[in-house]
Chains A and B, each alone.
Chain A
Amino acid sequence: MKPLIRIASGQGFWGDLLTAPLQQVKQGPVDYLVLDYLAEVTMSILQKQKRKDPRLGYAKDLIPLLEEILPECVERNIKVITNGGGVNPESCSEAILAVAQKLGISDLKVGVVSGDDILDRVDQFRQQGFELKNMETAEPLAGIRNKLESANVYFGASPIAAALRLGAHIVVTGRTTDTGLTLAPMMYEFGWSEQDWNRLAAGTVAGHILECGGQASGGNFSADWRSVPDLAHIGFPIAEAYPTGEFIITKHAGTGGMVSVQTITEQLVYEIGDPRKYITPDCVADFTSIKLEQSGKDRVKVSGVKGTPATDTYKVSMAYFDGYTAFGTLTYSWPDALEKAKRADEILRARLSDLGLHFEEIRTEFLGYNSCHGPLADSSHETNEVVLRVGVRGTDFDAVERFGKELAPLILTGPPAATGFAGGRPKPKEVISYWPALIPKAALSPRVSINQR
């Protein structure tokens, strides 16, 4: 058994710094590179791409990235784990093998974890008595069944660890928890059992710290943000993991950003609910057991993590079509910027009303004044300029589109000194809403396979 492994976070979301995974591979020692590409909205976008072309439906950014780093990963035995397989991990693995062939790399084994996409099996499950009702509101699925765009089960670390045991150099998955990407190599390398709840919880906490990339190493840091050095070259976080379940969060020497008890604490409390019950498919982690200690410059030791047994259900994330939105903006300058923007909003609403257009919601915000803090905003100073931002949402495409034609006329037919209307009329965008549900683990299994040439 290796005495320690280094797991490097390369992407916190699809659209993150493209240079981060290169930096992780090239600027110091790592054993695993984990890449998280899937936000909840991503799955429905990928389903649409797959419907247009059955070879698509995965994170395309992954392929040019691997083309750049694969030779070095193979040479130094760095394994890559990613959920960038999206709704088509098989095609993703084919594209990776094509790149390997192009680079003259033979014997590459790509592990594929699939079986999470249950869009075609939703009715079958309901016939079997699995209701898939909304776990937050308890509403039945029937109301939105015909509007479903995607339905994916969140798998955990176990199937990824299984792929690694089969000899995979790269593992691509569909909908897997972000934390599972990081926990899996620890389970595999250190031989942790699937009932070793404290260690599984420790690996899960490591995954939670890594899953948002630079947000653990000085990005979006709210304490003394001015003190964070060289954010232009921010080093993404690395978990130096030990067989005991203890780990150290650090980053490569010579990179920017910082790793401190404060930066790690901010990431630990990010997007959590009840801290004693951080539920994943692998275990339930207790965030009130975590001990943090600065063990060196840009090194934070994490220990003491306790876990309890996993639940007997998987979370299912479904997405459904829920109408249209459109947004328009106009900029008003001093003097009386806010008053002018408010008057323009009144005129706009009167015209929408005259047209007989109905929306589920019309929302007006004033950027530069209250779009962040609403009624808590400080109104004691006159704003130099303000951006009027109006959004509408409705099920009638034509009404939402018509709204987009009412913004520009305000420049010549409303209060003075309006500008910033570039880029044409606002266009309707589809609203994709979420439907979280639970399904018993016994109802389905992940599929693990190896794809090689």
Chain B
Amino acid sequence: MNIQLRKLCHARSGDKGDTANIGLIALKPEYYPIIQREITAARVQKHFEGVVFGAVERFELPNLGALNFLLHEALGGGGTKSLKNDAQGKTLSAALLRMEIDINDNITL
């Protein structure tokens, strides 16, 4: 089953200098093992090709059903230096939810 991440998760993003963070949260507890398995740092790095120019780090928060991603060199220098309309990376959370994954899990949406 090909599914867009927005059907499984909600998310919020923000900035710290030129690094953006995206908190990706499973909409239901049973979705967490799926995103934990599928949404690797490497996959997020690939998804954000041309947007993120540094490394992507991933951290797990199983207690909240969430993953936290740090996207380095993602904000055009960050702060008041950035020439981006979204200099704080507020919409990168939605950009991650565009991702499509192919899964065989038996889930109810």
Nearest opposing residue in chain B for A225, CB measure:
B10
The residue of chain B having its C-beta at the shortest distance from the C-beta of A264 within the complex is B64
Cβ-neighbour of B51 out of A41, A323, A376 (below 8 A): A376
Q: Is the CB of A223 within 8 A of B10?
A: yes
B63 touches A288 (CB 8 A): yes
Q: Which of A242-294 contact B (CB under 8 A)?
A: 262, 265-276, 287-292
Q: Is A431's beta carbon under 8 Å from chain B? A: yes
What CA separation (Å) do A371 and B76 show in the bound complex?
A: 12
Contact call A273/B25, Cβ cutoff below 8 A? no
In the complex, which residues of chain A have a beta carbon less than 8 angstroms from the beta carbon of B39? none
Distance, CA A371 to CA B87, complexed state (A): 10
A322 contacts chain B at the CB level, 8 A cutoff:
yes
Residues of the B chain whose Cβ atoms lie less than 8 Å from the Cβ of A376: 47-48, 51, 95, 98
A272 to B57, CA, bound (A): 12
Contact A268/B83 with A262-B10, A436-B17 known, Cβ cut-off 8 Å? no
Chain B residues whose CB sits within 8 angstroms of the CB of A49 once the complex forms: none
Q: How far is the CA of A318 from the CA of B52 in the complex (A)?
A: 25
Best-buried of B17, B61, B77 by chain A (most CB within 10 Å): B61
The answer to whether A392 has its CB under 8 Å from any CB of chain B is yes
Residues of chain B within 8 A (CB-CB) of A374 are 50-51
Nearest-CB residue, chain A, relative to B16: A271
Q: Are B95 and A372 interface neighbours, CB within 8 A?
A: yes
For B51, list chain A residues within 8 Å (CB).
Answer: 373-376
Task: Compute how far the CA of A361 lies from the CA of B65 in the bound complex, rounded to whole angstroms.
Answer: 40
Q: Contact: B25 with A367, CB < 8 Å?
A: no
CA A374 to CA B89, docked complex, whole Å:
12
B82 to chain A, nearest CB (A): 9
Residues of B contacting A432 with CB < 8 Å? 79-80
Complex contacts, B95 vs chain A, CB 8 Å: 372-373, 376
Residue pair B23, A288 in contact (C-beta under 8 Å): no
Q: Is the Cβ of A269 less than 8 Å from the Cβ of B23?
A: yes
Interchain nearest-CB distance for A432 vs B (Å): 5
Contacts of A371 in B (CB 8 A): 84-86
With an 8 A cutoff between CB atoms, is A52 at the interface?
Answer: no
Contact indicator A389/B85 (Cβ below 8 Å): yes
A-contacting residues, B43-92, CB 8 Å: 47-51, 59-66, 68, 70, 76-81, 83-86, 91
A358 to chain B, nearest CB (A): 15
In terms of DSSP, what is the predominant structure of the interface of chain B? mixed
Number of interface residues of A (CB under 8 A): 52
Chain A, interface SS category: mixed
What is the bound-complex CA distance between A289 and B24, given in angstroms?
17
| Total contacting residues, chain B, CB less than 8 A | 43
How near does chain B come to A320, taking the closest CB pair, in angstroms?
A: 11
The residue that A325 contacts in the complex, of B62, B65, B80, with Cβ under 8 A, is B80
Decide yes or no: A272 and B63 within 8 Å by CB, A361-B83, A375-B51, A433-B80 being known contacts.
Answer: no
**A146 is an interface residue with CB less than 8 A from chain B:** no
Contact A274 B94, CB 8 Å, known A325-B83, A327-B83, A374-B51: no
- For B61, give its contact among A275, A373, A433 (CB under 8 Å): A275
Q: Chain A's nearest CB lies how many Å from the CB of B67?
A: 9
B64's contact among A269, A271, A373, by CB below 8 Å, is which? A269
CB distance from A187 to the nearest CB of B (A): 25
Chain B CB within 10 A, most for which of A222, A362, A363, A393: A222
In angstroms, Cα B12 to Cα A46, docked, is 30
Closest residue of A by beta carbon distance from B13:
A270
Docked-complex contact A269 and B25, CB < 8 angstroms: yes
State which of B12, B47, B85, B97 has its C-beta within 8 Å of the C-beta of A269: B12
Residue of A nearest to B96 (CB): A376
Q: How far is the CB of B20 from chain A (nearest CB, A)?
A: 9
Chain A residue, CB-CB nearest to B99: A376
Chain A hits for B65, CB < 8 A: 265
Closest B residue, CB atoms, query A269: B23
Chain B residue contacts of A436, Cβ below 8 A: 17
Selected from B10, B21, B94, the residue in CB contact (under 8 A) with A271 is B21
Establish whether residues B61 and A288, one from each chain, have CB atoms under 8 Å apart when the complex forms: yes
B15–A271 contact, CB under 8 A? Answer: yes
Residues A266 and B23 in contact in the complex (CB < 8 Å), given A222-B12, A272-B68: yes
What B residues does A222 contact at CB under 8 A?
A: 10-12, 93-94, 97
- Excluding A271-B16, A372-B94, 8 further A-B contacts by CB distance (< 8 Å) are A220-B12, A222-B97, A265-B64, A266-B25, A269-B61, A372-B91, A376-B95, A434-B17
The 10 listed contacts between A and B (C-beta, < 8 Å) are A221-B10, A266-B10, A270-B23, A272-B68, A273-B59, A275-B59, A287-B64, A325-B81, A376-B95, A434-B78
- The list of the 3 closest CB pairs from A to B, nearest first, reads A269-B23, A391-B83, A363-B83
